[in-house]
Amino acid sequence: MADKKSPAAGWPKIQGDYHKGDENSPVVVVTVGSHLDEQAVCDAGAAMCGSCKTENLGLEKIVANVIANPNIRFLITCGTEVKGHLSGQCLQALHANGVDGGKIVGAQGAIPFIENLSAEAIKRFQEQVEIVNIMETEDLGEIKAKIAELTARDPGAFGADPIVVEVKEDDGGAGGDAAVATANPQFLEIEARLNEIEKKLEFADGEIMQRNGRKIGRDIGILYGLTTGLIVFMMLLVLLPKLLQLI
């Protein structure tokens, strides 16, 4: 059996919108923008499972919980991406590239700025875990199979003690779902505008679906009318000679 270590006292250190599983498990699952059956994922062997909606505090809280538990060696990203925030892509960029001047290198989200993680904490995250990307997957069977595969590859606890990071809490949750990005007014304004754009996109998507539905209904009606007319015409062709004979 792989060697294990005790996580930091009171792990998970950062509270939030996630479910906790076996703290000795080597796998954490981040469902990004999806809300799946997190308890079922934990029951399948994950140490923790939760979503991550923002590319700043959300990522910081994930990192904080991971490096506080040396037993975690794999992080699965799955579920649907978050429009605008692209928190899944930003998490992968943070792991691959780190930060430069507080900004995640290569991140494509709107406000990918890290404020609560030191260079040491980020380096530890990069060294401790392997990112396993199955983004856009919401199938629990596939996720559970990946957990089993990674558990079988468990290399044992990371060879260093837990690192405890303090992440400033706002209204949001932790191992994943967080609220406003940062106290910087410029970031808050960007966040507000981004949320407004997302609402408009959702409205536009709904309007397009309604229009498509009306068009499909109209086309079906036309097709039904043409089919009925054709059937009547064929019946007349068959019956007309007999009617003429009777006359």
pLDDT in tens, 79-129: 999 999 999 999 999 999 999 999 999 999 999 999 999 999 999 999 999
Question: Could you tell me whether strands 48-50 and 18-20 are parallel, antiparallel, or unpaired per DSSP bridges?
Answer: antiparallel
Residue 218: inside a domain, yes or no?
A: no
Q: How far is CA 156 from CA 5, 121, 161, in A?
A: 9, 20, 13
**Domain assignment present for 127:** yes
For the whole model, what pTM was predicted? 0.71
Query: What is the number of domains present in the chain?
Result: 1
Residue 141 in any domain: the answer is: yes
In a domain, 144, yes or no: yes
What backbone torsions phi and psi does residue 104 show, to the nearest 5 degrees?
-65, 125
Does some domain include residue 152?
yes
Residue 17: its pLDDT value, please?
Answer: 80
Check residue 168 and give its pLDDT.
78
Total length of the chain? 247
CA 170/CA 164 separation, integer angstroms? 19
The answer as to whether 9 is a domain residue is no
Say which DSSP state 90 is in: H
pLDDT the model gives residue 150: 98
pLDDT of residue 177: 40
92 neighbors 77 (Cβ within 8 angstroms): yes
3-state secondary structure of 57: helix
Query: Can you give the pLDDT at residue 194?
Result: 63
- DSSP helix/strand/coil, 49: strand
What is the pLDDT, as a whole number, of residue 145? Answer: 98
Cβ-Cβ contacts under 8 Å for 158 (sequence gap 6 or more) = 5, 70, 71, 73, 127, 128
In a domain, 3, yes or no: no
In a domain, 1, yes or no: no
Domain that holds residue 79: 18-179
pLDDT for res 154: 97
The residue ranges of the chain whose pLDDT is under 70 are 1, 169-207, 209, 213, 239-247
d(CA 155, CA 204) in angstroms, rounded, equals 48
pLDDT of residue 223: 77
Closest to 70 in 3D by CA, of 30, 116, 117, 23? 23
